[in-house]
Amino acid sequence: MDFMSTFYEKYQIGVSFQAIISLVLIILVAFLLTRITKKLKLPNVTAYILSGVLIGPFVLNLVPTNITSEMTIVSDVGLGFIAFGIGRYFNLSTIVKNGGKAIVISVLEVLVSAVLIFIAMMLFKLPVGVCLIFASIGATTSAASTSMTIKQYNCKGKFVDYLIEIIALDNIIGLLAFSVISGVSFSLMGGGDNLSMFSMVWLPVLANIGVVVIGFVFGVLLAKVVITPTRSKDNRLILTVAAIMLLVGICGLAKLVDSTLSVSPLLCVMVFAATYINMTKDEELFNQVADFAAPILLIFFVLSGINFQMDQLATVGWVGVAYILVRIVAKYSGAFIGGVITKSNKSIKYLTGISMYPQAGVSVGLATLAGSMLYSIPTLSVDYASQINAVIVTAAIFFEIIGPGLARFSLKASGSLKEGKPGSTPMFETGSMLKDSPSIEDSVDYEKRMKKLQKIQMSCENANRFIHTKSYKDSHR
């Protein structure tokens, strides 16, 4: 089916208008599909990826490849916003409070997952470089689905604190591992026959340490600049988005240092966000950025679905099945072993691993980075990049389907989610597929009170700004 391309060619529609129409189709189809996934109690990210597959080249082919190939910037920026969302959960005070248990559990969970997945991929006689990529990607966990489930049911407690911390540490360890492994894999796959040990291992490590330092500095600067009393909400958002995009751009400049060097913005922006939240405890800014980033992340995941190579499923089918099954066993086993070693309570020991399966955001992003790296190797006779993308996207869809349900089960079993408790009712329950569920915000009484509070808040902000003006200070000397 090639209806859209024929339509564009017949009526001589320019590329710019093609891009606009494609974006409208991407957003509209993804939104409509969320109406179905909400009824099935699945996260929106599942709908986004599936809608990408639906409008992609292997089904309806509604978006021309010349348009999607020019949207790589969305993938890079999307990774930045994903990382910023993860960073908000890395709370140092919680880590200090919980001691080193979460660190031990995270390290063992990542290590066990990576080793078992690597061994499983080697059994299929894939190149060592490809097996290493699968292992490093499989070890990561997406914080989005589990954190959305926690927020949706307003879950609180010790188990929730540990779970969020473990997932955040999991991503930091996994991203560091991917940064090193990607360089080694690039060399093993023939992308750098003359690369030294420094170029393969130490240069990626030093580059990531460098961008982490930059992310930390940006976080400190943002905390000092954003929290000033005279800063408006709009300016807070503008400065934060600018900082995220600048950090993504800085990571992209790593290619100027070495053409074989690939630095993911995930780790850098995550540290940036973690620094800010630990210095300010400002959750409101993260909510602002999340609202701003919603359409960007929608496009990011839809593009991942569009790039899904369905023709590769026949050749990687059993590899995908093995990847999914081994990851299920590995994630649970690693978390369980960590819980036993740290002598954690039963909830952490037996239930943590159940919540560690989702991986859509981080894994799809890393698969994209790995694909661009492998595509740059002209000597490869097999399209391993498409195979990796096919397996990872398939696994992401599968884990996003089962992940929220398993997370809800673990939260309920741990006592963090109690039926009938205020705030434990799902936010999205409605009889209409085209209408989101009603909430307290829809009530007339709520609106009246909110208007009064907004007036009071505006008066306070105006008074606060006046206090920090030069005329006020001069008059009170």
Query: In whole angstroms, what is the distance from residue 103 CA to residue 7 CA?
Result: 55
Cβ of 47: how many Cβ atoms within 10 Å? Answer: 27
pLDDT of residue 475: 63
Name 271's Cβ contacts closer than 8 Å, sequence gap at least 6. Answer: 87, 212, 215, 216, 219
Architecture in CATH of 73-298+306-414: Up-down Bundle (1.20)
DSSP, residue by residue, 466-477 = HHTSHHHHHHT-
Query: In whole angstroms, what is the distance from residue 22 CA to residue 62 CA?
Result: 8
- What pTM does this model have? 0.75
Query: In whole angstroms, what is the distance from residue 166 CA to residue 163 CA?
Result: 5
Query: In whole angstroms, what is the distance from residue 421 CA to residue 34 CA?
Result: 27
Cβ of 290: how many Cβ atoms within 10 Å? Answer: 14
Query: In whole angstroms, what is the distance from residue 295 CA to residue 475 CA?
Result: 48
Residue 64 DSSP SS3: coil
Name the nearest CA neighbour of 340 among 112, 69, 58: 112
pLDDT of residue 422: 47
Name 144's Cβ contacts closer than 8 Å, sequence gap at least 6. Answer: 43, 45, 82, 85, 86, 358, 360, 361
pLDDT of residue 315: 61
Instruction: Say if residues 50 and 305 touch (Cβ distance below 8 Å).
Output: yes
3-state helix, strand and coil shares in percent for the chain, rounded to the nearest 5: 75, 0, 25
Count of CA atoms in the C-beta half-sphere (13 A) of 100? 5
pLDDT of residue 425: 46
Name the nearest CA neighbour of 133 among 78, 188, 75: 188
Query: In whole angstroms, what is the distance from residue 193 CA to residue 187 CA?
Result: 6
Instruction: Say if residues 272 and 223 touch (Cβ distance below 8 Å).
Output: no
Query: In whole angstroms, what is the distance from residue 285 CA to residue 92 CA?
Result: 18
pLDDT of residue 3: 76
pLDDT of residue 313: 66
Q: What are phi and psi of 188, to 5 degrees?
A: -65, -30
What would the two tokens of residue 365 be? 């992003």
Residue with tokens 């790593």: 254
Query: In whole angstroms, what is the distance from residue 303 CA to residue 320 CA?
Result: 20
Query: In whole angstroms, what is the distance from residue 68 CA to residue 149 CA?
Result: 31
Please list, residue by residue across 391-406, b when 16 or more beta carbons sit within 10 angstroms of its beta carbon and e when fewer do: bbbbbbbbbbbebbeb
Name 148's Cβ contacts closer than 8 Å, sequence gap at least 6. Answer: 43, 404
Residues in the chain predicted with pLDDT less than 50, given as ranges, are 422-433, 439-443
User: How is residue 459 annotated by DSSP?
Assistant: H
Cβ of 86: how many Cβ atoms within 10 Å? Answer: 28
Query: In whole angstroms, what is the distance from residue 223 CA to residue 87 CA?
Result: 14
pLDDT of residue 261: 64
DSSP, residue by residue, 291-314 = HHHHHHHHHHHHHHHHT--GGGHH
DSSP, residue by residue, 349-417 = HHHTGGG----HHHHHHHHHHHHHHHHT-TT--S-HHHHHHHHHHHHHHHHHHHHHHHHHHHHHHHTSS
Residue 42 DSSP SS3: coil
pLDDT of residue 316: 65
